[in-house]
Amino acid sequence: MLARMAYSLGGGIVSRVVVVSALFAFILISPVSWADDIEDGKNIFNGPAGCQSCHKITDKKSVGTGLAGNAGIHTDAWLLKWLNDPQTTWEENDRETQDLRKRVGKPNEPRTAMKKRKILAEGDLRALIAYLKSL
């Protein structure tokens, strides 16, 4: 398949080398980056974001829902929106929020119990999402 891609890019050995090199670079670098994001996200979860004060990383409820397996239910875009401003996301009541409301047994509640926490940079939020998705 890569050979076909290289030929469609103009063919020749140079195109194939570039495509294969790019693929190997992605494979070699990305897992380290993902692992770093997960570790950074874990540190943010337990540190500045304060998530551990209400959430467990298992499926057991504490003050908030248990988080194991939950992040796979939501898109990264939704999680980013939710982590930035839970109440506004709750009020917008899009499909993913409706699913969440049903799962937590609060389909008609006007407010979410989740509070807006410390404002985090987008990179920190993405690392936090990577960690949540690893649970």
Cβ–Cβ under 8 Å, residues 33 and 94 = no
Calpha distance 124→60 (Å, rounded): 25
Average pLDDT over every residue of 52-81: 91
Reported confidence tier of residue 35, pLDDT bands at 50, 70, 90: confident
Reported confidence tier of residue 3, pLDDT bands at 50, 70, 90: very low
Domain residue ranges in the chain: 33-134
Q: What is the pLDDT of residue 32?
A: 42
Distance of CA 89 to the CA centre of its chain: 16
Exposure of 72 by Cβ count < 10 A (0-12 exposed, 13-18 middle, 19+ buried)?
Answer: exposed
CATH of domain 33-134: 1.10.760.10
- Name residues whose C-beta falls within 8 Å of residue 63's C-beta, 6 or more positions apart in sequence: 53, 54, 55, 113
